[in-house]
């Protein structure tokens, strides 16, 4: 009932409760939320009116069925200042601490030996998507302060008269919380799965550092180094362009000879 994309706005007028302190009001007991399935993807805002011109906004959620309710201060509203939000971050940015809640996932492996090479970068052409997604899932779980366990499947899922097997079947039967191996978006899977768009660049860069070959070699010179031979600037330039100068000299000499022969030929 409280899952996304549904949004809930609950209102409570605390003025009546304050004026009638002896009246027991059912919704004044906030423990009612302890038994509700309000998980991190929910959007439930609880608005309480304490005064004629002051409303307090609070969000409520539970990291998992085994954890207690967490209240978030979202801000307040007054006639003078209007709506004052404490933060405009979305729920996924605010609710990163799942308090070691346990998640279940599934890895698709076409080769049984893949289970032994998920992180050693060996046999990269065998089940590459599974190995890449495994590292991403571990990073995601670590960011959310959660734990995770994996089931293994040999296929993504096939439709057998409306009943799916493989990883899709586990998601359909709610046996796992999130798929551990990405899959293609296909028309026959749209009504079964909820795809999550990847907002990172698809690519990997592997770097390896070998260090300096000679670590005891001095890199800072405190005085001008001396030349091994007293060679001047002109000599160095002439040495480097020796073959070019020789070629140009012979070319000029050959041109002069040809020009002289043509001149003598025309004077005859």
Tell me the pLDDT of the chain (268 aa) as tens digits. Answer: 787 788 888 888 877 655 555 544 445 557 788 888 888 888 899 998 887 788 999 999 998 888 888 899 999 999 888 999 998 888 888 888 899 999 999 999 999 999 999 999 888 899 999 999 999 999 989 999 999 999 999 999 988 887 899 999 999 898 998 899 988 888 888 888 877 766 655 554 444 444 444 444 444 445 555 655 555 544 555 555 667 778 888 888 889 998 888 888 877 6
Q: Which residues are CB-neighbours of 44 under 8 A, at least 6 positions away?
A: 2, 8, 10, 38, 59, 60, 61
* Domain regions of the chain by residue span: 7-95, 102-220
CA neighbor of 195 nearest in space, from 234, 156, 231, 227:
156
CATH architecture of structural domain 102-220: 3-Layer(aba) Sandwich (3.40)
CA neighbor of 148 nearest in space, from 211, 94, 198, 102:
102
DSSP 167-220: HHHHHHTTS-SEESS-----GGGTTT-------S-S----------S-TTS---
Phi, psi of 220 (to 5 degrees): -115, 125
Q: Which residue has the tokens 């734990």?
A: 147
């Amino acid at each position: 009932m409280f899952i996304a994309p549904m949004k809930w706005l609950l209102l409570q007028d605390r003025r009546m409760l304050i004026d009638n302190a002896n009246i027991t009001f059912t919704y004044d007991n906030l423990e009612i939320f302890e038994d509700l399935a309000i998980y991190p993807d929910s959007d439930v805002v609880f608005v309480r009116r304490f005064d004629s011109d002051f409303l307090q906004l609070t969000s409520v959620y539970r990291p998992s069925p085994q954890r207690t309710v967490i209240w978030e201060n979202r801000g307040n509203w007054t006639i003078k200042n209007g709506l004052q939000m404490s933060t405009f971050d979305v729920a996924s940015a605010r609710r990163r601490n799942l308090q070691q809640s346990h998640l279940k996932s599934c890895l698709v492996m076409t080769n049984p030996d893949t289970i032994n090479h998920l992180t050693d970068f060996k046999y990269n052409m065998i089940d590459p998507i599974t190995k890449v997604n495994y590292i991403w899932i571990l990073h995601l779980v670590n960011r959310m302060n959660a734990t995770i366990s994996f089931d293994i499947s040999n296929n993504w899922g096939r439709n057998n008269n409306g009943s799916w097997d493989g990883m899709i079947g586990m998601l359909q039967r709610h046996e796992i919380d999130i798929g551990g191996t990405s899959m293609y978006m296909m028309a026959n899977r749209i009504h079964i799965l909820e795809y999550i768009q990847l907002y990172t660049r698809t690519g990997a860069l592997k770097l390896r550092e070998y260090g300096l070959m000679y670590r005891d070699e001095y890199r800072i010179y405190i005085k001008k180094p001396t030349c091994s031979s007293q060679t001047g600037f002109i000599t160095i330039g002439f040495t480097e362009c020796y073959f070019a100068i020789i070629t140009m000299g012979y070319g000029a000499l050959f041109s002069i000879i040809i020009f002289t022969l043509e001149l003598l030929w025309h004077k005859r």
